[in-house]
Every structure is written in C-alpha cells, then in structure tokens.
Amino acid sequence: MKTAVVTGAASGIGMGYALALVEQGYHVLVTDIDMVGAERVTAELNGIGPGTAEARYLDVADADAVATLVQQVKNEHGRLDMIFNNAGLAIGGPVHDLTLAHWQRAADVNVMGVVHGVDAAYKIMVEQGYGHIVNTASIAGLVPAAFMGPYNMSKHAVVGLTLSLRGEAAAHGVKVVCVCPIAVHTDLPRRLNDGLEKLPETEIAASLYDRFDSLFRALPEFVIASPEGHGRKVLRAVERNRAFVIEPWFGRPVWWLQRLFPTLPVTLSVAATLAWKAAQPYLDRVAQRLTRTDPPALAPTALGTAQPAGSPQTFPTEPADSSVSVE
C-alpha cells in the first residue's frame, strides 16, 4: 500500500489532503499538534476506505520529531510515496506593532516546519528513486499584501524552496509541487496570531470571519473551496506533476496581474494603510464591540450514510472549522 504523511491534518486543508489520499487507497499518517482533532479525522477516514489512516502527534517545529516519524513510515511500510508539508499559522498585523516573537513563530512553523519535512523525506525519496513532496504555500507567497508581513515572508520562502528543489529533485525521480490556495474554508482566520500578543486588527478580522461564517459557507465551491474539494483537486494536480496548484480558479488571474504590474500590490497596500490610519481612532472601540468568545471545541461527529469505497465523501460541516481562509 502506498504511504503518505500529511502535517496539520486535524482540520482544514490538511484534512482535505488526507481524505483525498484515503479515497485513492493510501495509508495516511494524519499528523498534528491537535491530537483530539487528528484522532477524530482518522476515525472518520477509516470508515471511508479504501485506504487507511493513522493519527500521530507531530510538532513540525521539532526537526528530530519530524525526521523520526518520516523514517518510521519508511521502516514500517518499506516506502514513502508522498509528504504534504501543510502545517502553518496565520500571523500578521501592522509591522510596527509586531514583536520579534511574531516573526520567529512564523519562521519556526511556516518556514522551518516545511524545511524539516523536506529534509526528512527528500533523502529517503532520493534513495528509493521516487516520491512526491507537496508544500503548501499560499497566494500570499506570490502576491504580498499589507498587514501580513510575517505570513507573506514565510510563504514566499516556501515558494522559493519548492521551486528550487523541483528542478534539482527531477533528476532523482522525485516530484515537487507548490500549492498556493487563495480561498479555502478553514479555521485559520480564527487563530490569527495564536499564542502570541493579540492586536485590535487581528481580533477584528477573526470576529468578522465568525460573524460572516454562514455567508461564506453558502458560497459555491468555485468561489471558496471546501477542504475536501480542494484536496481532491490538489491530488489530481500532483499526479500530473504540476509545478503550481493555485486554487480556486481566480487565484491565477490575481497572480498574472501581479506579474504584469509588479508594484500593484504595493500601491494597494499604500491605500489600505492610509485607510487603516484614518480608522485608527475607532479600532479599539470596534474591537471591543466585536469581542468574541472562542468557538466551542469540536465534538466528535459521525459520518453520514456509508458510501461505496472510492465514491466522493464529505465531512459534516462544523461551526468551528468552516470559516474561509484567504490564503
């Protein structure tokens, strides 16, 4: 049985990757620091088939832990077919309000987390002569925007690493793909600057995502992709060895526009910053009015009516995991 490792797979995009892989018959390691979520997803996946899933705790910022887990897959199954370096954090805010801790956290998880996965898997894949490395970047890794400095920096690094490795890896039979989502349903916006100093701007953004959650979920798949739909599209693109996977469709025109007019994002950022400065006297008041409580913990859910193996499956929609992530 083919094997795959997915990081950050307890919810969102990583969960979608794991689902798509299990539908194609892979044995998938669902890894995350959220073991409750990882075990819930694993239980659901094992009820789908034809592949299988296994939950493992993994902090991608721990290089030794990543290397150990990836080597265990090779030792136990005799092969490593795919690794999806997907775990990441949303970190941002006005640069002058950020601390070094914000930048360090973005580097530790979003950059070094990917590096740790690449370092562990690539050496095994070169030795065996095949394999796929799929790195989740973001449209923010192609088109920068104001108030997202740490996130933009980290995702640009992932794009650079992935394209650099792609050319080198091809000579060894290893295929490397860069995924740049622009709008996918996930709980990432609710976790802006998670574990770090909160800012009025990020609290407002997270609260607005909560308030408009039902609207986002009502939008069609081609506007805001579901994790399940996104995962299936990415896996098809990976099997075709596409260098970039930019989904949904409108991400590509955004990228093309930026390539035609390289300074356009800067111009838009200037306008956004001027608007932010004008609204500055009101931000604290707005943040207080939009003060939200953290969403309740995800409760275990059962899958719906069983379907034949290989037929499309979706997970039940859950309030705490359904807001849109503008990547």
**Cα separation, 228 vs 230, whole angstroms:** 5
Q: Which two tokens stand for residue 196?
A: 């770090």
Alpha helices in the chain (DSSP H): 12-23, 35-46, 63-77, 100-106, 112-128, 149-169, 200-211, 213-218, 227-239, 251-260, 264-289
Under DSSP, the state recorded for 307 is -
Measure Cα distances from 270 to 152, 233, 234, 259 in Å.
Answer: 16, 35, 34, 18
Is 151 an annotated catalytic residue? yes
- Annotated active-site residue in 17, 122, 151, 209: 151
Residues 13, 21, 308, 304, CA torsion sign: negative
Measure Cα distances from 209 to 67, 164, 204, 228, 274 in Å.
Answer: 36, 35, 9, 20, 23
User: Which residues fall within 8 angstroms of residue 258, CB to CB, at 6 or more apart?
Assistant: 142, 143, 264, 265
Measure Cα distances from 291 to 77, 128, 187, 288 in Å.
Answer: 49, 53, 17, 5
* Tokens 């990836």 found at: 70
User: Which residues fall within 8 angstroms of residue 297, CB to CB, at 6 or more apart?
Assistant: 36, 320
Find out whether 325 and 181 touch, Cβ atoms under 8 Å. Answer: yes
Measure Cα distances from 213 to 107, 192, 224, 227, 247 in Å.
Answer: 29, 16, 12, 15, 20
Buried b or exposed e, range 74-86, using 16+ CB within 10 angstroms: beeeebbbbbbbb
Return the active site residues: 151
